């Protein structure tokens, strides 16, 4: 049971959604944009989330788009992970988003919701970071498009009232050699010790990580080390110097063990793309 009472709105346009947000804010409703709702239920039932009004974005056509147009894959923020996986237009995204939560939840969880969520993993963003995707963000001043590598730092940097509408990925990235890896404590379903999305473009790896640090990231310095010449061992050791935050230590695994898993994952990844 959700422990709070809140109002529900379902606007038809992006414009209406962002305006509604402003009005509800003036009314001190602390509104939230939402699409899948899994986090509202999860956090709401244990008293860790407050809102006086939710704005459902699933009625907005732009948020439900899933198509290739003008050599770009356009994905609405309100598209569910299951729909993404079934369409499988971007196999690396299918891999990195295909093991978030469980099958039942993935039917509800959306691309936008996962990227903007409160949990530290946000694994759907990994393939988007690795593929230099572009996000469309709406505010009351209209829409802007920004490379995700600029807009995403620890989390998608949205000002209050801004809404992630769509993500676009250049079609050339969709069929590149790639590798998605998720390592958990034990189970097929579970939070990652290490989740990684890697693709190879012009003989260079582009790699993003989740589960290792307290937020997902793609580090160009780290990538630079991985793409250097030298033995796998040296390159991995150097890459490990560039993790942007302490390695997570929690119920899923200690940081020492995560590091062990991470090294193996990197080793396997280099071997996968380059051979032993």
Name the one residue in this structure whose structure tokens are 């039932």: 45
Rounded Cα gap, residues 215 and 31, in angstroms: 24
Q: Does 257 bind other proteins (CB under 8 A)?
A: yes
Residues 23-52 interacting with other proteins (rule: CB under 8 A): 45-47
> Phi/psi of residue 3, each to 5°?
-90, 5
Which range of residues in 134-142, 144-152, 228-236, 250-258 is near other proteins by CB under 8 A? 250-258
Rounded Cα gap, residues 95 and 81, in angstroms: 11
Structure tokens at 141: 């001043």
Is the CB of 220 or the CB of 251 nearer to other proteins?
A: 251
Smallest gap from Cβ 2 to other proteins, in A, equals: 9
* Residue of the chain from 159, 256, 275, 276 that contacts other proteins (CB under 8 A): 256
Q: Residue 229 CB: number of other CB atoms within 10 A?
A: 6
Rounded Cα gap, residues 61 and 93, in angstroms: 22
Edge-to-edge strands, sheet with 163-170: 66-69, 72-76, 163-170, 134-139, 142-147
Q: Residue 148 CB: number of other CB atoms within 10 A?
A: 22
Residues 185-224 interacting with other proteins (rule: CB under 8 A): 185-191
Cβ-in-10-Å burial (0-12, 13-18, 19+) of 259 comes to: middle
Name the one residue in this structure whose structure tokens are 């996968």: 272
Per-residue binding string, other proteins, 152-191, x by CB under 8 A, is ---------------------------------xxxxxxx
Q: Does 263 bind other proteins (CB under 8 A)?
A: yes
Smallest gap from Cβ 86 to other proteins, in A, equals: 19
Q: Does 273 bind other proteins (CB under 8 A)?
A: no
* Residue of the chain from 9, 243, 260, 273 that contacts other proteins (CB under 8 A): 260
* Residue of the chain from 229, 251, 275, 276 that contacts other proteins (CB under 8 A): 251
Q: Does 10 bind other proteins (CB under 8 A)?
A: no
> Phi/psi of residue 274, each to 5°?
-120, -10
Q: Does 108 bind other proteins (CB under 8 A)?
A: no
CB 54 within 8 A of CB 31: yes
Smallest gap from Cβ 23 to other proteins, in A, equals: 27
* Residue of the chain from 222, 261, 266, 270 that contacts other proteins (CB under 8 A): 261
DSSP classification of residue 248: P
Which range of residues in 85-93, 146-154, 200-208, 246-254 is near other proteins by CB under 8 A? 246-254
Which positions lie near other proteins, rule CB under 8 A?
Answer: 1, 3, 45-47, 185-191, 250-254, 256-257, 259-261, 263-264
């Amino acid at each position: 049971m959700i422990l709070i009472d809140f109002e529900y709105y379902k606007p038809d346009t992006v414009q209406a959604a962002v305006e509604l947000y402003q009005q509800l804010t003036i009314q001190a409703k602390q509104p939230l944009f939402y699409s899948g709702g899994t986090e509202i239920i999860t956090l709401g039932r244990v008293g860790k989330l407050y809102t006086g009004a939710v704005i459902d974005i699933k009625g907005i056509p732009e948020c439900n788009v899933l198509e290739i147009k003008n050599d770009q894959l356009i994905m609405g923020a309100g598209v569910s992970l299951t729909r993404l996986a079934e369409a499988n237009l971007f196999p690396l995204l299918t891999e990195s988003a295909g093991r978030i939560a469980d099958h039942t939840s993935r039917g509800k969880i959306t691309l936008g919701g996962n990227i903007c969520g409160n949990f530290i993993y946000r694994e759907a963003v990994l393939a988007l970071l690795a593929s230099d995707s572009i996000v469309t963000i709406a505010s009351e001043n209209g829409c802007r498009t920004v490379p995700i590598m600029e807009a995403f730092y620890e989390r998608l940097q949205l000002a209050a009232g801004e809404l992630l509408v769509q993500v676009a990925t250049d079609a050339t990235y969709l069929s590149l050699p790639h590798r998605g890896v998720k390592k958990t404590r034990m189970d097929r379903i579970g939070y990652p010790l290490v989740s990684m999305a890697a693709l190879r473009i012009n003989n260079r790896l582009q790699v993003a990580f989740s589960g290792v640090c307290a937020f997902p990231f793609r580090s160009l310095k780290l990538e630079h080390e991985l793409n250097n010449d030298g033995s796998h061992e040296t390159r991995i050791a150097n890459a490990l110097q560039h993790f942007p935050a302490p390695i997570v230590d929690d119920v899923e695994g200690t940081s020492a063990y995560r590091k062990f898993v991470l090294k193996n994952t990197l080793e396997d990844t280099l071997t996968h793309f380059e051979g032993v």
